[in-house]
Structure 1
Amino acid sequence: MVKYKLITKIINEAYPMDLLLLADPSETLVKQYLKFGECYVAELNGETIGVYVLLPTRPDTVELVNIAVAEQYHGKGIGKKLVLDAVQKAKQQGYLIMEVGTGNSSIGQLALYQKCGFRITGVDKDFFTIHYEEEIIENGIACVDMIRLAQQL
């Protein structure tokens, strides 16, 4: 297991856009939700290796809108630790529900979220074809629909 520390990103500091774009290829959308969300990073020896963003959406509800781990650290349990840290931070901030959405083609992410206590709550049909100009292909599957998941905190 890789040892790293989680810190809250300082507002005036540059966000790790390279990592954020691994999870969401639209820089425009990423910049929009960064204006209203809180960005947290995982660091190892001064290098940012993971990131997530919590975005308040409705009273008592927060959404995990972006989570990414640097490719060389995949498969080391960092993604799961980031999700669990996000859940803990949301609880500490008084939220009652956490939501997350991922692509229908994001097989690994769907498994991860369910392992972390999320349950599928719905599907936003054609989300990625409506909101993204370029086609997204993951695991040989066209990313078309957003699978919505949530958990009570």
Structure 2
Amino acid sequence: MNIHGQWQIDLVGDVLVRTFGGSFNQQGTEAIFAELQTKAPKDRPWAGLAHGAMWEMSTQDSLQSYNSMSDWVFANGCVCVAFILPSKLHLDVMRRQAGLTENHRYQSCVSLEQACTWLSQRGFAITPDQYPHLAFLNQLEQRQHQCA
């Protein structure tokens, strides 16, 4: 089966920035998680910035596998994660299916600025100017508008 979903992952200081969009299937979720595992710092605490403003949705099985991914990141040095989601519906799905609200180390944000502020207040300095995936985010947005 083909991988569904698109993403980029880069480390900015001690913040692992993950930008993702489109619709994810289980294979896509497993692939993004494998890349996240290879890029996560191994020698120090780190935080996550998950920019999903162009995320369309995920299959039920990929959403349910999120709990094991969450367990891994927090067992491997992640202190907190700021999520940017496209709508309240997406947040509700993440809460219900992926257990997003069951962990106080998650914060749902409405903008990159809010996410950067929240992470910086927790000791993981990052600014919107340091966000490495602006061109990729713009490509995702253009594709989404073309399909609409």
Bigger helix share: 2
TM-score normalised by the chain length of structure 1: 0.39
- Greater RCO structure (CA 8 Å; 6+ sep): 2
Bigger strand share: 1
TM-score normalised by the chain length of structure 2: 0.40
